[in-house]
Amino acid sequence: MPNNLNNIERASTIIEALPYIQKFRGKVVVIKYGGNAMISPELSDAVMEDIIMLYLMGIKVVLVHGGGPEINDMLKKIGKKSVFKNGLRYTDEETMYVVQSVLCGKVNKDLVSTIVRKGAKAMGLCGMDNALLSAKALDRGDGEDYGLVGELVEVNTDVLIDAMENNYIPVVASVAHGIDGNNAYNINADTAAAKIASALKAEKLILLTDTQGVLKDPSDPSSLIKRIYVYQIKRYIDEGVVTGGMIPKLTCCAEAINGGVTRTHILDGRVPHSIIVEMLTDEGAGTMIL
Amino acid sequence: MPNNLNNIERASTIIEALPYIQKFRGKVVVIKYGGNAMISPELSDAVMEDIIMLYLMGIKVVLVHGGGPEINDMLKKIGKKSVFKNGLRYTDEETMYVVQSVLCGKVNKDLVSTIVRKGAKAMGLCGMDNALLSAKALDRGDGEDYGLVGELVEVNTDVLIDAMENNYIPVVASVAHGIDGNNAYNINADTAAAKIASALKAEKLILLTDTQGVLKDPSDPSSLIKRIYVYQIKRYIDEGVVTGGMIPKLTCCAEAINGGVTRTHILDGRVPHSIIVEMLTDEGAGTMIL
Amino acid sequence: MPNNLNNIERASTIIEALPYIQKFRGKVVVIKYGGNAMISPELSDAVMEDIIMLYLMGIKVVLVHGGGPEINDMLKKIGKKSVFKNGLRYTDEETMYVVQSVLCGKVNKDLVSTIVRKGAKAMGLCGMDNALLSAKALDRGDGEDYGLVGELVEVNTDVLIDAMENNYIPVVASVAHGIDGNNAYNINADTAAAKIASALKAEKLILLTDTQGVLKDPSDPSSLIKRIYVYQIKRYIDEGVVTGGMIPKLTCCAEAINGGVTRTHILDGRVPHSIIVEMLTDEGAGTMIL
Amino acid sequence: MPNNLNNIERASTIIEALPYIQKFRGKVVVIKYGGNAMISPELSDAVMEDIIMLYLMGIKVVLVHGGGPEINDMLKKIGKKSVFKNGLRYTDEETMYVVQSVLCGKVNKDLVSTIVRKGAKAMGLCGMDNALLSAKALDRGDGEDYGLVGELVEVNTDVLIDAMENNYIPVVASVAHGIDGNNAYNINADTAAAKIASALKAEKLILLTDTQGVLKDPSDPSSLIKRIYVYQIKRYIDEGVVTGGMIPKLTCCAEAINGGVTRTHILDGRVPHSIIVEMLTDEGAGTMIL
Amino acid sequence: MPNNLNNIERASTIIEALPYIQKFRGKVVVIKYGGNAMISPELSDAVMEDIIMLYLMGIKVVLVHGGGPEINDMLKKIGKKSVFKNGLRYTDEETMYVVQSVLCGKVNKDLVSTIVRKGAKAMGLCGMDNALLSAKALDRGDGEDYGLVGELVEVNTDVLIDAMENNYIPVVASVAHGIDGNNAYNINADTAAAKIASALKAEKLILLTDTQGVLKDPSDPSSLIKRIYVYQIKRYIDEGVVTGGMIPKLTCCAEAINGGVTRTHILDGRVPHSIIVEMLTDEGAGTMIL
Amino acid sequence: MPNNLNNIERASTIIEALPYIQKFRGKVVVIKYGGNAMISPELSDAVMEDIIMLYLMGIKVVLVHGGGPEINDMLKKIGKKSVFKNGLRYTDEETMYVVQSVLCGKVNKDLVSTIVRKGAKAMGLCGMDNALLSAKALDRGDGEDYGLVGELVEVNTDVLIDAMENNYIPVVASVAHGIDGNNAYNINADTAAAKIASALKAEKLILLTDTQGVLKDPSDPSSLIKRIYVYQIKRYIDEGVVTGGMIPKLTCCAEAINGGVTRTHILDGRVPHSIIVEMLTDEGAGTMIL
């Protein structure tokens, strides 16, 4: 912390945020929260403070989250072994029971509690509240049954809009309401965030990750690519610049852009206040996909 | 089902509900849901239909629930042994983790999902959403530590009122926001329902139970006491008419009445549509405490 | 009345209405009231109760009525003889004086009074209030003068919408504001109801009559035609299935359907609660024209 | 008409009304309409124009009326003989039928129609609409039965307030909703106007009559008493200055003043635009009771 | 003043305004105020009374004004000599300082004060408030620099609409917000009024002048042209009927008509209450351009 | 400017303002603007940015200003000599003309223009708009005539509340509406700000000055008194700690505190962003009077 600053310097720094606040005021920003930013209490606190700061400046934040390691801990505790099919974890009913409980009941409500303790209004929701997220069983066309892994078929943002109009920060767990039975479905949180951002025609979608962003050379932090246009993504994948888990993240961003979101960002959740850095300073952070 | 009725008889039966609908329209009714009505899918369906019917008639329903046997099932799965102190289960952090997950994430959201599937708007909340229910560690004055068993210190109904004004049925899990730390607390659902009913100055508090109501002679169903005045409760307990688990239920009702609730009811959740019977027919059901 | 029902059966019967209430909630239903349902106090009470029940369920009801035998009684009292031209009663000024007085002042306000006594808000209107119904002298192109028999030229539903938004049941007497002089005009109540239903894009138009509906064989109650499509009407008339007073009623229904009303019904007003039977049970009643 | 005025003189005359418009803007004025002003079409037109002018200037007018000679004409037509008891006409059911029909259906709706034709919004109501005026059988304590002559027991102004908020001029026929049976009651229109004015805490109550106001010497028009204080009324009656039909009118005014009305007026309805003269010029007209 | 009128004549005169009030109610009228009407206290009072009368009748008035002789007086006081270029006064910074001060601070606020003293709500604005009028340096294409004489490039009526919705009469000084620097610009008041009228789609634009209107023969007051159609203007100029300062006034009116204003008027501000004469009597005044 | 900060440090600095924003959100802060902060363009820009920042954070700012040296410049230009009576400048009509023009027309609207250019909504008002500030001729009880120096007798904040509800920053020139004639009055800006703050029950009143605050030893900047309680003021004056122009400033603050303002501050307007320093950092600035 810059505690060597005098008050005038502090005030100047705050004032420099003015044009950014004016730009984003009244706009919707969807933040997908996960990774280290979720595990470390310090980082988690910093993210919640960033969100409350945006909220106080009149920016409408929707926080979407997955489950982090808490689901695995609980699955381990009940002695559940995971079965993988084509690289995807098969979700049986017992697993889904744990996923839904931990995600919607523990992780989600703890985030809400943190925000409330820090002085803002928040409400914990999941895809089942007013059928915010509707899904059916995933069908990859490979004839394989992935159990309760779902694919989103509809987003009904009414409950989010009602929440934001009443000045709540909606916190959304990525579990969906099943339309082909009484089931709930497990949904990828990046995808949920991207679909929600599209449905809300958000100004920004921010994916918090455990990387700096997209690096040309993974071993060289200075090789960060600051800006990727949607049409470049395929080439970066083909060239092997974008690999592994970054591929679906970029795909989510591309879909959000195509769905009407203005800017999407892959930010480093390991850096405290990276959201504020990206949104309220002139340097930006991570990789912007547009 | 009275499928031997012709349509005119059906219509007459519906019309007979008219004065009751007029009486309760626009009023708040808090329903504590638990016991068999929660375990049997048929009974659960009937309760949800009753709630939606009241909602469509312009009655404002708040549904409060505990966890039923699902919490115990999960505790068993993870091999947790319960420790009891003075008849009260000590709630350690691991237990509370399961309680919160199952209650707020599984039971709560499944109820919401059922209501939404039946065509009404619903929202799943717990005491942590906007600090709806605030609690501190239970202090019975016996010097004993009961862990994360909480006692309610404040009810903030804003989030319920916002939900009802936007036409959602709020479904509330009885887990509270801790004010003396970062903890969540386990709360008795009857108590939570009674406090919420008082805070909302509800017209009615209905506790769904696995008994017919208060019986003079437990072995004789025809000995049901239809009406108990608050001042009679002590005498009934002294005389041994009211015993065991019925004592705290009557205490909750008495507190609700003292808190400004007009009528409270102990209804038999094992009888389908007992809420509609109580509210929309002239016979009533169970025991009314007033 | 099904007084042999126990309370659970009663509750089940009420609950069966759930999907119908959900379907019609917030929709407009225009009911033309006349015939025996208007003369018999018991039937009249039943109709008013049906209307209040729909109103309490959030359905917006507009009640349109003619004058029944009360006009003839008064005309007889003042010794007025009716003159008929081409089957239509010539309406001179003295007759119109009686029609307007009895319809707008006696029949209309008595209906309002009954609804108010039963606990709902109601307001008695006619075509002259805010020029709800505007008419000119009927011109059938036969060069004949029918006096103050009017044909509708405009419907201004503002006063109905204002009334419904303030939660009044509007009760409308079928007398129109003249646009070609200072006159009021006598209007057929079925036509007025159909035009109002079209102007409001109502979900339903219900004509209460003294028949079961359209019968294939008038002597056989079991020959009821449950559903007639607009394009079939001409054929039914040509074949002599539909005759006499039923022809203009079907024509009204056809015009309402063409004007944007979803469903129209010819119901038997002699059967108590036939409106509730039609709207809230799965069998329906009378003949539906669509 | 002052058609010898040039336009500048006309404009000046209009401008002189400015302070009066400012004074009464947003205030409620209740006008009891009757006598010659009701019978002569020219005078009636002038009254309606005055009312519309006040309405356009933002003054909230409620027009209350009785039946004039039209009721007697109709009673005569049906050959009804009136029976008088202690100077009061006994109202049997047949008479009440005619009163209600003619008052609420003919006189009321014709007034509404005139106002609508002149370009303002109006709505025709009576005491039965939303139970605006509730009455029971008159009991003078003399043991006499006066049939359906009623005495007012309650005024519910909701329907008037709703009408005025939606910018309608409410026109009210003095027939009341009976609370001791299914009856309607005949009510004195001056009394109805005074009670409505009190209930609305009106700025003014204006009674249009067929006299100049209260005259010291009935044969001398220049002996008009311009101002009477409530405490003076008894003396004027004792001295024989106020006699006959003027006594109940002054009593109505006194009750209105005691009920919270600021000013009451007895105006000459035979003079065209006397309402405008009284309200928008500096001389005033008739007798003011305060 | 027509003080020889009796009250009935006064009332009749007021009533004659009824159809005009009904016609203009709820409409916007933009009045450009200047010339003698601004200098003479009596005429100024009359104009303010006219405006308040229109306001009380529900007409929405926007008052736009220039500076009259007060600017010249102040320029003279500070010893400023005016430089003219091609007939246009060059506005340097010192001149603009005086223009803005006197116009926005003295003339504007004095008008507001007068209206407020006469009992209406008023608010003093100029083109800089919320950037109501945006301008850049005038470019006539002649290569000449006219200093801070501006030409309007945008009108943002939000501040006027907000003011009118809160029931203020907005009074607007014709000084504009510069978009090409930190400057304010001097704007012709007729042009400002015409642009504001167009932007508000006003019903009327009224230019108060020191002439009777357009005269065929300037020496003959009876040769007033009452109505000019936009397509006739060019011919009138070509024929020398319209000359000098009247040309830009007619051009403003033509632009307003083309911009969606219904009627424009050139009125004689030297005649008291000429606005009321034009708007509320059947003869009209001055020249109407349409 | 702290341009040696990296982005994370910047973000942290912004986040540290969180609790202060939460504390002041939705509250009213009245800022009296004058002195060097008004003369230097850099300082003026900084003050406007501070105000916009507060506004964006949901704090309701009212900016009150006097005239600075601009009035004297103009008085000098027109050759006006000031006459002083008992230390107070006598304000004759010519002087008042200049004061009103420059204050309400030039200084006020230029401030508005600056705020608008920086991207916020602003509206320039003075005491004459809707009679925001009403005054009469100053009467010190010394029999002396001070001309158009006024003393405030009433504050009507309606126009400020309307402006703030429509999201404008109201900028108020300290000229008052005279109630004892057609005059405007010159008012001390500190007094106007204090009275407005009291009338609005503001959270804070901030007086920007050309001193650091109240110093124990004027020659020693480190002797700043950070906090003065109202009851201490008299003693500080008696002891000679508070002298000269600081006395009326402290008196204003005391009156504001007595009038219901929570905190008042004397801040150094020569330090850029001193408002942000005081309001959003933990050190505060200047002297707080409470």
- For residues A137-151, average pLDDT: 91
State whether D101 and C106 contact (CB < 8 Å).
Answer: yes
> What does the mean pLDDT of chain B come to?
92
CB contact under 8 A, D272 and E11: yes
Residue D5 banded pLDDT, cuts 50, 70, 90: low
Nearest residue in F to E96, CA atom = F106
Q: Identify the closest residue of chain C to D110 by CA–CA distance.
A: C128
Is E159 part of the contact surface with chain F (CB cutoff 8 Å)?
yes
Dig out the tokens for F133 from the structure. 């500030």
Which bin fits A201, alpha (ψ -120 to 50), beta or left (φ > 0)? left
pLDDT category of residue A54 using cuts at 50, 70 and 90: very high
In this complex, which of A18, A50, A274 lies closest to F52 when CB atoms are compared? A18
Interval A236-264: pLDDT, tens? 999 988 988 899 999 999 999 999 999 99
* Cα–Cα distance, C12 to F200 (Å, whole number): 59
What sections of chain F are H helices per DSSP?
7-15, 18-24, 36-39, 41-56, 69-77, 93-100, 108-117, 158-165, 189-199, 233-238, 246-258, 274-280
| Percentage of the residues of chain D whose pLDDT score is greater than 90 | 74
Distance CA C147, CA F278 (A): 84
Please tell me the distance from the alpha carbon of residue B227 to that of residue E214, in angstroms, as a whole number. 91
Kindly state whether C26 is in contact with chain B, defined as any CB-CB distance less than 8 angstroms.
no
- The pLDDT assigned to D256 comes to 97
**pTM score, whole prediction:** 0.91
Q: Interface pTM (ipTM) of the complex?
A: 0.93
Residue E21: list chain D partners with CB under 8 A.
Answer: 53, 56
For an interface test with A, the pick among F13, F42, F281 (most A C-beta atoms closer than 10 Å) comes out as F13
Residue C7 forms contact with B (CB below 8 Å): yes
Q: F11–A272: do the CB atoms touch at under 8 Å?
A: yes
Residues 230-269 of E with CB under 8 A from F: none
Do chain B and chain D touch with ≥3 beta carbon pairs under 8 Å?
no
Q: Where are the alpha helices (DSSP H) in A149-224?
A: 158-165, 189-199
D16 touches chain E (CB under 8 A): yes
pLDDT block averages, 10 residues each, chain B of length 290: 65 88 95 88 92 95 91 93 82 95 97 95 98 95 90 97 97 96 92 98 96 88 93 93 91 96 95 90 85
Nearest to E208 by CA among E34, E20, E18: E34
Chain D residue with CA closest to E26: the answer is D56
Shortest distance, CA F12 to any CA of chain E (angstroms): 34
Asked if D124's CB is within 8 angstroms of C116's CB, the reply is no
Q: Tell me the one-letter amino acid at E38.
A: M
Token pair for A202: 């958000």
Kindly state whether F124 is in contact with chain E, defined as any CB-CB distance less than 8 angstroms. yes
**Is a pLDDT exceeding 70 seen at residue C3?**
no
Tens-place pLDDT, residues E4-63: 567 788 888 888 889 999 999 999 999 999 888 888 889 999 999 999 999 999 999 999
Low-confidence winner among A12-16, B161-165, E134-138, F44-48 (lowest mean pLDDT): A12-16
D182 touches C at CB < 8 Å: yes
What chain C residue is nearest to B48 in terms of C-alpha separation?
Answer: C15
pLDDT 10s digits, C152-200: 999 999 999 999 999 999 999 999 999 987 899 999 999 999 999 999 9
Cα of A161 to nearest chain F Cα, Å:
20
Q: What is the token pair recorded at F155?
A: 């504050």
Q: Would you say B149 and A143 are in contact if contact means Cβ atoms under 8 Å apart?
A: no
One digit per residue, the tens of pLDDT, for chain F of length 290 reads 344 567 788 888 888 889 999 999 999 999 999 888 888 889 999 999 999 999 999 999 999 999 878 999 999 999 998 788 887 889 999 999 999 999 999 999 999 999 999 999 999 999 999 999 999 999 988 888 999 999 999 999 999 999 999 999 999 999 999 998 789 999 999 999 999 999 999 999 999 999 899 999 888 888 999 999 999 999 999 998 898 889 999 999 999 999 999 999 999 999 999 999 899 887 778 999 99
Q: Tell me, what's the pLDDT at D11?
A: 84
Q: Which of A5-14, A193-202, B109-118 has the lowest mean pLDDT?
A: A5-14
Whether F124 and F109 have beta carbons less than 8 Å apart is answered as yes
Burial of residue B6, with CB atoms counted within 10 A of its CB: 0-12 exposed, 13-18 middle, 19 or more buried? exposed
Average pLDDT of the residues of chain C = 92
Residues 6+ apart with CB under 8 A from E173: E65, E67, E103, E104, E107, E108, E124, E125, E126, E127, F105
Residues of F in contact with E166 (CB under 8 A): 162, 166
Chain C touched by B50 (CB under 8 Å): yes
- Residues linked to residue E85 through DSSP beta bridges, in sequence order: E88
D4 in contact with E, Cβ within 8 Å: no
Question: What is the rounded distance in angstroms from the CA atom of residue D43 to the CA atom of residue A21?
Answer: 66
- Would an 8 Å CB–CB cutoff place F67 in contact with chain E? no
Instruction: Answer whether C touches F (≥3 Cβ pairs < 8 Å).
Output: no
Q: Which of A179, B9, B286 is nearest to C16 (CA)?
A: B9
Q: Which of B273, B275, B282 to mutate to test the interface with C (most CBs of C within 10 A)?
A: B273
Choose the weakest-confidence range: B186-200, B264-278, D174-188, E274-288: E274-288
Q: Kindly report, residue by residue over C65-107, the tens digit of the pLDDT.
A: 998 789 999 999 999 988 888 878 899 999 999 999 999 999 9
State how far residue F51 is from chain A, nearest Cα, in angstroms: 10
Q: E209 and E242 in contact (C-beta within 8 Å)?
A: no
Name every residue whose Cβ is closer than 8 Å to that of residue A193 and which is 6 or more positions away in sequence. A30, A31, A32, A64, A174, A205, A207, A252
Give the closest of C106, C123, C168 to D105, CB-based: C106
* C5 — pLDDT class (breaks 50, 70, 90): low
Query: Residue D48, SS3?
Result: helix
Query: Taking the CB of residue D232, how many other CB atoms lie within 10 A of it?
Result: 16
Query: Which residue among D78, D128, D168 places its CB closest to the CB of C113?
Result: D128
CB atoms within 10 A of CB F193: 29
E24 vs E20: CA distance, rounded Å: 6
- CB-CB under 8 Å, F102 with E101: yes
- Subunits adjacent to chain A (3 or more Cβ pairs under 8 Å): B, F
Q: What is residue A2's predicted lDDT score, i.e. its pLDDT? A: 45
Percentage above 70 pLDDT, chain E: 98
**What kind and span of H or E run contains D137?**
strand D133-137
- CB of A78 within 8 Å of any CB in chain F? no
Q: How many CB atoms lie within 10 A of CB E158?
A: 14
Residue-level pLDDT at F108:
97
**Cβ within 8 Å of A, B 79-98:** 97
H or E segment and range at residue C98 = helix C93-100
Contacts 24+ apart (CB under 8 A), E243-250: E246/E211, E246/E214, E248/E188, E248/E190, E248/E191, E249/E190, E249/E207, E249/E209, E250/E214, E250/E289
C-chain residues near D116 (CB < 8 A): 128-131, 177
What span, in angstroms and rounded, lies between the C-alpha atoms of F124 and F108? Answer: 6
Cβ–Cβ < 8 Å for C191, C205: no
Whether residue A34 contacts residue A208, with contact meaning beta carbons closer than 8 Å, is answered with yes
Per-residue pLDDT band for A5 (boundaries 50, 70, 90) equals: low
Instruction: List CB contacts of D224: < 8 A, sequence separation 6 or more.
Output: D212, D213, D214, D215, D216, D286, D287
D48 touches chain C (CB under 8 A): no
Q: Does C122 touch chain D (CB under 8 A)?
A: yes
Tokens of F54: 């507060």
DSSP conformation class of E200 = T
Kindly list the distances between the CA atom of residue E119 and the CA atoms of D18, D19, D276, E60, in Å, as whole numbers in the listed order: 10, 9, 21, 16
Q: Is the pLDDT assigned to residue A150 strictly greater than 70? A: yes
Query: Residue B2: how many CB atoms within 10 A of its CB?
Result: 18
The per-residue b/e assignment along C116-140, b for 16 or more CB within 10 angstroms, e otherwise, is bbbebbbbbbbbbbbbbbbbbbbee
Other C-beta atoms within 10 Å of B65: how many? 23
Tell whether the model's pLDDT for residue D3 goes beyond 90.
Answer: no
* Best mutation target, E1, E3, E7, to test chain D (most D CBs within 10 A): E7
D129–chain C Cβ distance below 8 A for any pair: yes
pLDDT at E1: 38
Evaluate if residue E180 carries a pLDDT over 90: no
The answer to whether residues F64 and F196 touch, using CB atoms and an 8 Å cutoff, is yes
Tokens of E188: 């012709």
Which residue in E has a C-alpha nearest to residue F171's C-alpha?
E129
Contact C8 B50 (CB under 8 A): no
The pLDDT, as a whole number, for residue B9 is 82
What burial class does residue B151 get, using C-beta atoms within 10 Å of its C-beta: 0-12 exposed, 13-18 middle, 19+ buried? middle
Predicted local confidence at residue D1, as pLDDT: 38
A129 and chain B in contact, CB less than 8 A: yes
Cβ contacts below 8 Å, chain A against chain F, sum to 125
- Which of E8, E273, E276 has its CB closest to that of D277? E8
Cβ separation of C109 and D116 shorter than 8 Å?
no
Report the gap between the CA of F235 and the closest CA in chain E (Å).
42
Residue F109 with chain E: CB contacts under 8 Å: 100, 104-105, 126, 128-129, 175, 184
B271 and C CB contact within 8 Å = yes
Walk me through the domains of chain A, giving residue ranges and CATH numbers: 21-289 (3.40.1160.10)
Instruction: Choose, out of D45, D273, D278, the residue to mutate when testing the contact with E (most E CBs < 10 Å).
Output: D273
Q: Which residues of D touch C116 (CB under 8 A)?
A: 128-131, 177
DSSP E strand stretches across D156-230:
169-178, 184-186, 204-209, 227-228
Among D100, D126, D128, the strongest candidate for a mutation testing the C interface, having the largest count of C CBs within 10 A, is: D128
Render pLDDT for D102-160 as a digit per residue (tens, 0 to 9).
Answer: 999 999 999 999 999 999 999 999 999 999 999 999 998 888 899 999 999 999 999 99
Residues in chain E within 8 Å Cβ distance of D286: none
Query: What are the two backbone dihedrals, phi and then psi, of residue E91, each rounded to the nearest 5 degrees?
Result: -110, 105
Number of H helices, E strands in chain A: 12, 13
